[in-house]
Structure 1
Amino acid sequence: MNTLIGTYECKADAKGRLMIPAPLKKQLSPVVDKGFVLKRAVFQPCLELYPMSEWEVLMKRVNKLNRFNKKNNDFIRRFTAGVKILEVDASGRLLIPKDLLAFSGITKNIVMASAVNIVEIWDKDKYEQAIDDATIDFADLAEEVMGQDDIDHELP
């Protein structure tokens, strides 16, 4: 799958259903038939929507962990806590389960933000706060992460 692009605002209805914004739906169209996995994010109070193919790649990596190592076992349990398989309904909506709504604090106003090969789903206020908080040290972070000599600077 190609990388996803864009940040989109939408709304959840009273049942936790959200309509995938058309530009994002178009980008996801090659993978929509295989379904998605929705999970809690590790570092933020948001949800992560994985196309099934991306989830399978990640699970191959996780599956290599030795489950007889307590840290690995604890990680796997926490990482997969609350994981749900989702499908887009006939109307183009996703239903966010109640436990994941509660974890993320999503009520009505939502931001769906592309994050390379997945989509983060945020409560709008929490997303804006996270972006504001990250702005303070983003220059230092960008230099530390992307300014390393180990990155291949050749273009494809």
Structure 2
Amino acid sequence: MFYGEYLHTVDPKGRVIVPSKFREGLGEKFILTKGLDNCLFAYSAEEWTSLENKLKTLPFTDKDVRAFIRFFFSGATECEVDKQGRILIPQNLREYAVLEKDIAVIGVSSRVEIWNKATWENYSSDDNMSADKIAEKMSLLGI
């Protein structure tokens, strides 16, 4: 399980330090892909396989399903952690998430998300992210 928030920077070569607590759960090699809300999602190999199997059960005849699967898989890449605990984020993924310098790396249960720091701060300070509003929405789902 991943949780917590860590602030880091992208170096000039596009490398990012993966927090040590996250490296333990992600493993030496893991999958990084375009996420929702203009961030990146990182999955352990095991979690990626589980997610892939779930997506395979969706009806490929549905246009929205095909669009989501294309979006999700076309941006996917395998990352390998170097001896300094860094990964190289490909240029296309850095551009997608606008990762230029300051970033936030957050744990979200079964995945890790990598955000542009300013985008993360704007998202998490949005009125819709207030604890009361989230609790209200979750109660409608029976949680």
Q: Same fold (TM over 0.5)?
A: yes
Per the TM alignment, residue 67 of structure 1 is displaced from its structure 2 partner at its CA by: 2.0
- Cα deviations by residue, 1:27-79 (Å, 9 ceiling, x for unpaired): 5325413x11111112x111111111111111010011232333322221122
- Structure 1 unpaired stretches of 5+: 152-156
- Cα deviations by residue, 1:91-129 (Å, 9 ceiling, x for unpaired): 211111000000111111111011111111011111111
Rg larger for: 1
Partner of 2:24: 29
Per the TM alignment, residue 150 of structure 1 is displaced from its structure 2 partner at its CA by: 4.1
| Distance in 2 (alpha carbons) for counterparts of 1:95 and 1:131 | 26
Which of 71, 82, 103 matches 1:78?
71
Identity %: 31
Task: Using structure 2 for the length normalisation, give the TM-score.
Answer: 0.88
- Structure 2 unpaired stretches of 5+: none
Equivalent residues, number: 143
Structure 1 residue 46 and structure 2 residue 39: aligned? yes
| Distance in 2 (alpha carbons) for counterparts of 1:81 and 1:101 | 14
Partner of 2:125: 132
Q: Is the 8 A contact 2:39 2:114 kept in 1?
A: yes
| Distance in 2 (alpha carbons) for counterparts of 1:65 and 1:138 | 33
Larger helix percent: 2
Per the TM alignment, residue 144 of structure 1 is displaced from its structure 2 partner at its CA by: 1.8
Partner of 1:6: 4
The aligned amino acid for 1:4 is F
Which has the bigger relative contact order, CA under 8 A and spacing at least 6?
Answer: 2
The SS at the match of 1:110 is strand
| Distance in 2 (alpha carbons) for counterparts of 1:129 and 1:30 | 28
| Distance in 1 (alpha carbons) for counterparts of 2:10 and 2:137 | 37
Partner of 1:67: 60
| Distance in 1 (alpha carbons) for counterparts of 2:17 and 2:64 | 38
Which segment is superposed worse, 101-110 or 126-135?
126-135
| Distance in 1 (alpha carbons) for counterparts of 2:27 and 2:133 | 37
Partner of 1:154: none
Partner of 2:96: 103
The SS at the match of 2:38 is coil
Per the TM alignment, residue 12 of structure 1 is displaced from its structure 2 partner at its CA by: 1.0
